[in-house]
Amino acid sequence: MSEDQEKKMEDKKQKEIKITPIKQGTVIDHIRKGRAMKVLKILDLIDRDIESIVSVAMNVNSSMGKKDIVKVEGMELKNEEIDKISLIAPEATVNIVRDFEVVKKHRVGLPDKARGILKCRNQNCISNQDEPVISEFEVVAKDPVTLRCEYCERKMKGEEISENVI
Ligand SMILES: [Zn+2]
C-alpha cells in the first residue's frame, strides 16, 4: 500500500470516529471525562418525557485529553439549564446548532443559586426529611465551585457536588 493510500485510510478512520454532526439542537462539549451521565441527570434528560434523541460519547480523545460529549437533537437548551452544567462540569462548552452550523457557543456560567437539583449532604438537614422543602444552595465561591445549603449552611464543593445531583 502506498503512503498516500495509507494516509487516506487513516483520514477515513478519523472521520468515522468523529462524532456525527446534528442538524439542530445542542452539543455539550468538553465535559470532564466521566461526567456525562451527571450532566444528563442535572439537565433532567434521563427521566423527562422528551422527543429529542440524546446521545452520549464518553472518553473521546481531544487536544486537551479525554472528554465526554452530550448531544441533544432538536432541542436548544435554555441559559438557565446551561448554567446548571457549570456546577458539575465548569469546563464544558455548549454549542447551539441550527442547520448543521454552530450558531451560538457558550462557556457555561455559574448560577447564583442551585434549586431542587442537588441533595444536601447533611442527612439531618430539613431538606432531607420528608418535608415539602426544596433544596436550595447559594454559590459562595467559584474556584473551586462551593455551595452553601440555605437551610443548614453545610458547604459542598468539587466531587461532593456531582455526587449529590438529585
Ligand atoms: Zn442542608
Centroid of ligand 1 to alpha carbon of 163 (angstroms): 15
Give me the mean pLDDT over the 49-55 stretch: 91
> Which residues neighbour ligand 1 (ion) by CB within 5 Å?
120, 122, 125, 149, 151-152, 154
Q: What is the pLDDT of residue 35?
A: 92
Compute the distance between CA of residue 161 and CA of residue 159 in angstroms, rounded to an integer: 5
CB 122 within 8 A of CB 156: no
pLDDT at 14 over 80: no
pLDDT at 18 over 60: no
Query: Average per-residue pLDDT in the chain?
Result: 88
Centroid of ligand 1 to alpha carbon of 120 (angstroms): 5
pTM of the model: 0.77
Q: What is the pLDDT of residue 16?
A: 46
All structural domains of the chain: 20-107 (3.30.70.140), 113-163 (2.30.30.20)
What are phi and psi for residue 74, nearest 5 degrees?
75, 10
Q: Give per-residue burial for 115-135: e unless 16+ CB within 10 Å, then b.
A: eebbbbbbeebebbeeeeeeb
Most confident of 4-8, 48-52, 102-106, 135-139: 135-139
Centroid of ligand 1 to alpha carbon of 148 (angstroms): 8
Q: Which conformational region is residue 73 in: left (phi greater than 0), alpha (psi within -120 to 50 degrees), or beta?
A: beta
Centroid of ligand 1 to alpha carbon of 124 (angstroms): 8
